[in-house]
Structure 1
Amino acid sequence: MHKMKSPPFSSSSSFSVLRKARLSPYLFTLLAFILFVAVLYGEDLMCIFSRQLEPAAAFSDHLVVKPGESTHRVQLKIFRPQKQRQKLPFSIGKTDPECDIFTGRWVWDESNRPLYEESECPYIQPQLTCQEHGRPDKDYQKWRWQPDGCDLPSFNATLMLETLRGKRMMFVGDSLNRGQYVSMICLLHSLIPDEAKSMETFDSDSRTVFTAKDYNATIEFYWAPFLLESNSDNAVNHRISDRLVRKGSMNYHGKHWKGVDVLVFNTYLWWMTGQKFKILQGSFEDEVKDIVEVPTAEAYRMAMKSMLRWVRRNMDRNKTRVFFTSMSPSHGKSIDWGGEPNGNCYNQTSLIEDPNYWGSDSRKNIMEVIGEEFRKSKVPISFLNITQLSSYRKDAHTSIYKKQWSPLTPEQLANPVSYADCVHWCLPGLQDTWNELLFAKMFYP
């Protein structure tokens, strides 16, 4: 071990050099003061200076489309800088940077699943209560997501509620995001006495609000299937086949999101109407409407740009966390996974075992749009990449085991495949895993 050498000149020799330069007493005093401040506060000054130079990307998660992927699978990776000088709000630890929690496998876990019972959570909508509506098996409730190379932190309801004390958490999007919202309430509500919790719906602004009174906290859902203003914004009467979205209208709904502490966005399913999508250039109040048709992927890109711009302008990086949940896959064609022709998720009780299974190419195009826009953005938004892991779960849909919107015809009853819901998910089930991933990214980013 080499000893540190002494500096080439001491403080006394420094003084003699200054004296030989015949500096004025005032200048000498000024230089001495600067030297004293630099020695005393040098580390703090360097820290402040480095933060001024530090790019916003140092606080951000970015999506990168992995090059060389096949056309049937797109893997979105999170880029994490090696140094994160600013601690994200609510985080108490971090995930091993070598571990991607969204890449892994499903493992059977009968001892720890489900995380709650369907009958114990009164907040599940009848469209999602599969056991109540006659589903004969419970296997779909027993699968746990196991990332490669690490473990997900156990969902801690007490920690979540304490973190939300005095705060608002809001899920914004479509009925799939509502399912995740209800899952979150089911994971938390058992810790709250009956008299200290409530659920209320406000039709005027499309909100459903769960209140934990002792915590002065709310967990809310806001219906906005496109995030932008659309002709499908009524939370009840929104079944419109000719869908229309107004360009540049993020603030129409966004005014209801300002000040929220934890935001969870999603938007995907409602865009999937075909190769083209209609965009309104002006206002819904215009007598003659200026409507253009654009490729669906470009319409979706417009929504991503608008969302990222709104987050950048309205979030407080020191207090707010924003998440975006990727596309929820459907299983409407069994031939996609090598099944029988003319089938779908009906009567499916096993998982898709092909690790490269992806689904439709339209989903691939949308994932590429998300990757491109998030990669360009400096917005600190956390991405929940639930698409690939959910693609394996053809067993977990509500199928025919739900409340039907309208009476079924004799022809439908004779052919259950014709009315099986292969879009939404039974609760408890898959969407509880989405919230476990949300929990991991919130507290251990």
Structure 2
Amino acid sequence: MKGGIKGLKVSQVSLIFIGLLCATLIALASTKPTFLASLIPSQSQVLQLYRGSRQTPKQDNSSSLQTGAQQVRSPSPSQIGSGDDANATTTADRDTNISNELSGGTNKSKQAKNVLIVESPAERSHLKKNCNYAKGRWVFDDSRPLYSGSGCVQWLSPMWACRRTQRTDFQYERLRWQPKDCEMEAFSRSKFLQRMQDKTLAFVGDSLGREQFQSLMCMVTGGEESPEVLNVGYEYGLVKARGAKRPDGWAYRFPNTNTTILYYWSATLSDLEPLNVSDPATDVAMHLDRPPSFLRRFIDRFDVLVLNTGHHWNKGKLESNRWVVHVGGVPDAEGKITIEAAKNIAVRSVIGWVNSQLPSFPGHKAFLRTLSPRHFFNGDWNTGGTCDNTVPLTYGSEVVRDGSSDPVLAEAVRGTNVTLLDITAMSQLRDEGHISRYRVRGVSEMQDCLHWCLPGIPDTWNEILSAQI
């Protein structure tokens, strides 16, 4: 017949071909998962490739972390490193004639500073989401430290550069903090400056805040001489006054990215007002309910603000500085306000004020760093207290608690847009990282178990800060 094959019409032949095609497709569909599985990498393989691309240094997770060793109970900032009156009672702060001697040490900063993590904004957001940076453990990392303590002479005070002292053990430099429930990106100086382009980061606090400031300057410069960095302290009134030992702070700008990093000394985060400006020995009103005038004047310029206070809230400090507690412009003449209560008033006041200012400056961020722990054993700073241990992680390597070890400051930021930079518990595990007895010239009978060696623990504080910017 016309149009047929062996008696079949064209329409019938077409239907047969369509049927065969459908059957073929169904057969392929049933075998596709198995077939494709051999060609597509598994999720674990993808993750392994991603982690490998970060060039994560080899970690020592062995039992050596839990050692059983016995515990023995406007010049640059580095040029004015001694005599820090934020902790004037320690010997380290009295070393006013420290030399610029250099001792050993290998600059490993070049190994890590150029390692970049390529990530999309969505990936970065995932890394930060719900991350409790305070919970985790210390691990050994051969790529540490992030800079050379003997090389970062431009920014690092000699009294805190333990590579330049008589100390000979430096295991404390090799530890890195690993948060438990999230991935913390490796610090990259170029990435940090890129994020902070046309921005200002301000540290406002005591001498531990100054250590964090110097640590960040060393991290961002890789511990190398950086003559291109500009001293812009004059823009903030941070110049040495006549008769003063040092300015009230320092400010430096990286011209390539217009990034400014500064520090201002305010040990109590309260406004200090001399009662008689013509008398050098006058008492000073410490207004607990008024933020420092420096903060009130410049907060609009601070894209990132890091506050800290803690070790000046004791009778000795208040008396030696002639600070008189004031609330509502009135002195606490009868001493009804305890020192602990005064601290709480000051912290809540400054946090409340900063929180009220943040809506006026979209994109600005504020942090309150928790207390940096002391490690005086068998006494205090003036009664023979020591911190002679040189073995890292003698008391453990891990923080497992969920809440902060500084509940007062944690409560102060609750319900605000100020972020808690919680470093207390992780730092508590690192008693071997303090200055101890070591000085550039010999050793001292009076030990500094408050300040930290740099490179050291404050570098980790800055890594956590950078991860949240």
TM over 0.5: yes
Structure 1 position 279, deviation (Å): 1.8
Q: Is the aligned partner of 1:131 residue 2:163?
A: yes
Q: Is the aligned partner of 1:380 residue 2:422?
A: no
Which whole-Å deviations, capped at 9, do the CAs of 1:24-60 have from their partners, x for residues lacking one? xxxxxxxxxxxxxxxxxxxxxxxxxxxxxxxxxxxxx
Q: Is the aligned partner of 1:102 residue 2:148?
A: no
Structure 2 residue aligned with 1:165: 197
Which of 297, 304, 310 in structure 1 is aligned with 2:353? 310
Which whole-Å deviations, capped at 9, do the CAs of 1:246-299 have from their partners, x for residues lacking one? 23221523224322111011011111448999622466xx9x984634223221
Structure 1 position 328, deviation (Å): 0.1
Equivalences for 1:359-398 in 2 at 5 Å?
A: 367-375=406-414, 377=415, 379-398=416-435
Does the CA-based 8 Å contact 2:413-2:420 persist in structure 1?
no
In structure 2, what residue type is equivalent to 1:171? F
Which whole-Å deviations, capped at 9, do the CAs of 1:93-127 have from their partners, x for residues lacking one? 24365642211111111x21101111221210122
Structure 1 residue aligned with 2:343: 300
Which of 258, 265, 269 in structure 2 is aligned with 1:216? 258
Q: Is the aligned partner of 1:280 residue 2:326?
A: yes
Which whole-Å deviations, capped at 9, do the CAs of 1:3-36 have from their partners, x for residues lacking one? xxxxxxxxxxxxxxxxxxxxxxxxxxxxxxxxxx
SS at match of 1:345: coil
Structure 1 position 151, deviation (Å): 2.8
Which of 138, 141, 153 in structure 1 is aligned with 2:185? 153
Structure 1 residue aligned with 2:267: 225
In structure 2, what residue type is equivalent to 1:172? V
Which whole-Å deviations, capped at 9, do the CAs of 1:153-178 have from their partners, x for residues lacking one? 11121121122222211000001001
For 2:223 and 2:168, locate their aligned partners in 1 and report how far apart those are by CA, in whole Å: 29
For 2:281 and 2:420, locate their aligned partners in 1 and report how far apart those are by CA, in whole Å: 29
Q: Is the aligned partner of 1:332 residue 2:332?
A: no
In structure 2, what residue type is equivalent to 1:280? H
Structure 1 residues 297 and 356, CA gap change in structure 2 (3 angstroms):
farther
TM-score if structure 1 supplies the norm length? 0.63
In structure 2, what residue type is equivalent to 1:220? L
For 1:296 and 1:150, locate their aligned partners in 2 and report how far apart those are by CA, in whole Å: 38
Structure 1 position 352, deviation (Å): 3.6
Structure 1 position 355, deviation (Å): 6.6
SS at match of 1:120: coil
Structure 1 residues 146 and 334, CA gap change in structure 2 (3 angstroms):
farther
Does the CA-based 8 Å contact 1:265-1:324 persist in structure 2?
yes
Structure 1 position 426, deviation (Å): 0.7
In structure 1, what residue type is equivalent to 2:198? G
Which of 419, 422, 432 in structure 1 is aligned with 2:449? 422
In structure 2, what residue type is equivalent to 1:432? D
Structure 1 residues 250 and 185, CA gap change in structure 2 (3 angstroms):
same
Structure 1 residues 273 and 328, CA gap change in structure 2 (3 angstroms):
farther
**Equivalenced residues, count:** 322
Structure 1 residues 190 and 354, CA gap change in structure 2 (3 angstroms):
closer
Question: Share of identical aligned residues, percent?
Answer: 29
Structure 2 residue aligned with 1:7: none
Q: Is the aligned partner of 1:93 residue 2:125?
A: yes
Greater CA drift, 206-215 or 184-193 = 184-193
Structure 1 position 431, deviation (Å): 0.6
Unaligned runs of 5+ in 1: 1-88, 233-237
For 1:291 and 1:348, locate their aligned partners in 2 and report how far apart those are by CA, in whole Å: 46
Q: Is the aligned partner of 1:254 residue 2:295?
A: yes
In structure 2, what residue type is equivalent to 1:143? L
Does the CA-based 8 Å contact 1:99-1:149 persist in structure 2?
yes
Does the CA-based 8 Å contact 2:289-2:350 persist in structure 1?
no
In structure 1, what residue type is equivalent to 2:419? S
Q: Is the aligned partner of 1:322 residue 2:363?
A: no
RMSD (CA atoms):
3.8
Structure 1 residues 355 and 294, CA gap change in structure 2 (3 angstroms):
farther
Does the CA-based 8 Å contact 2:251-2:261 persist in structure 1?
yes
Unaligned runs of 5+ in 2: 1-120, 242-246, 275-279
Structure 2 residue aligned with 1:144: 176
Structure 1 residues 129 and 355, CA gap change in structure 2 (3 angstroms):
closer
Does the CA-based 8 Å contact 2:285-2:324 persist in structure 1?
yes
For 2:390 and 2:339, locate their aligned partners in 1 and report how far apart those are by CA, in whole Å: 31
In structure 1, what residue type is equivalent to 2:365? R
Structure 1 position 210, deviation (Å): 1.4
For 1:335 and 1:289, locate their aligned partners in 2 and report how far apart those are by CA, in whole Å: 32
In structure 1, what residue type is equivalent to 2:229? K
Equivalences for 1:60-99 in 2 at 5 Å?
A: 92-95=124-127, 97=129, 99=131
Structure 1 position 137, deviation (Å): 1.1
For 1:243 and 1:426, locate their aligned partners in 2 and report how far apart those are by CA, in whole Å: 32
Structure 1 residue aligned with 2:62: none
For 1:93 and 1:143, locate their aligned partners in 2 and report how far apart those are by CA, in whole Å: 26
Which whole-Å deviations, capped at 9, do the CAs of 1:303-360 have from their partners, x for residues lacking one? 1221122212322452201111100000012589xxxx965213433324247999xx
Does the CA-based 8 Å contact 1:281-1:290 persist in structure 2?
no
Structure 1 residue aligned with 2:216: 184
